[in-house]
């Protein structure tokens, strides 16, 4: 189905409740760099309903609404947001992650699509755990005990954040190119062909 936008970020999407959510592509950031204001904010999210096979209305994320565009520094900060956002699904909710270099990882949960309401669920201090140049920080899951598993795409590392101790630990494994979660029933694979 053709999108009403020219560019959505295919590698930065999440599926929640039968709907695929896409961040707008950073190509719009390049247009802003050249002085073309498309009116598309870095945290603008397009959504596609898999059941009806139709595009739904866009929703605005919570990040850009709190920023001013006054002055060159503010404009540069605004533009840099494009590369600090990721989408994921945690516990059945859409999550917008915003990694502010040397500061924090803020996780915003969409609580009401129709009204565009977001709640900041986590604000995690990251200065010692996540490299400042990490551009794709993706939360993967919340364990039953509340720990958060985070994938760092540019380094290929998995981290586990424990909110009770406010600490990170690295999962001992080789660097990963990509990570995905299987949420189906592994027992259902027993009788079928496994590819």
Buried b (16+ CB within 10 A) or exposed e, 146-159: eebbbbbbeeebbb
Q: pTM to 2 decimals? A: 0.79
Question: Which among 83, 121, 117, 113 is positioned nearest to 101, based on CA atoms?
Answer: 83
pLDDT digits (tens, 9 = 90+) for 22-70: 887 655 455 455 555 555 667 888 889 999 999 898 888 888 766 555 5
Give start and end residues of each alpha helix (H) in the chain. Answer: 27-33, 72-80
Residue ranges per domain, the chain? 8-189
Q: How far apart are CA 55 and CA 58, in angstroms?
A: 9
- Supply φ then ψ for residue 66, to 5 degrees: -95, 5
Residue-level pLDDT at 12: 80
d(CA 120, CA 31): 29
Contact 42, 97 (CB under 8 A): no
Instruction: Over range 129-143, report the average pLDDT.
Output: 84
139 Cβ contact partners less than 8 Å away, ≥ 6 residues apart: 86, 88, 90, 95, 97, 105, 107, 148, 149, 150, 151
Tens of pLDDT, residue by residue over 93-132, are 999 999 887 688 999 999 999 998 999 999 998 877 887 7
pLDDT tens profile 145-180: 999 999 888 788 889 999 999 899 988 777 666 666
Residues whose CB falls within 8 Å of the CB of residue 146, separated by 6 or more in sequence, listed in order: 162, 163, 164
pLDDT tens-place string over residues 14-34: 999 999 998 876 554 554 555
CB atoms within 10 A of CB 57: 9
Task: State the number of CA atoms in the 13 A half-sphere of 14 facing the CB.
Answer: 23
């Amino acid at each position: 189905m053709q999108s009403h936008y020219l560019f959505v970020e295919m590698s930065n999407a999440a599926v929640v409740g039968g709907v695929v959510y896409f961040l707008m592509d950073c190509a719009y950031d390049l247009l802003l760099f050249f002085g073309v204001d498309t009116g598309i904010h870095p945290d603008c999210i397009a959504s596609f309903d898999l059941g009806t096979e139709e595009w739904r209305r866009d929703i605005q994320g919570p990040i850009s609404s709190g920023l001013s565009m006054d002055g060159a520094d503010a404009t540069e900060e605004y533009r840099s947001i494009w590369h600090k956002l990721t989408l994921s699904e945690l516990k059945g909710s859409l999550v917008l992650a915003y990694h502010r270099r040397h500061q924090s990882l803020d996780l915003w949960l969409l609580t009401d699509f129709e009204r565009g309401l977001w709640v900041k669920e986590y604000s995690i201090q990251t200065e010692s755990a996540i490299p400042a140049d990490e551009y794709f920080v993706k939360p993967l899951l919340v364990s039953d005990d509340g720990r958060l598993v985070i994938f760092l795409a540019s380094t290929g590392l998995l981290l586990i954040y424990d909110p009770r101790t406010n600490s990170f630990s690295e999962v001992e494994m080789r660097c990963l190119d990509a990570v995905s979660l299987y949420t189906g029933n592994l027992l259902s694979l027993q009788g079928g062909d496994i590819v």
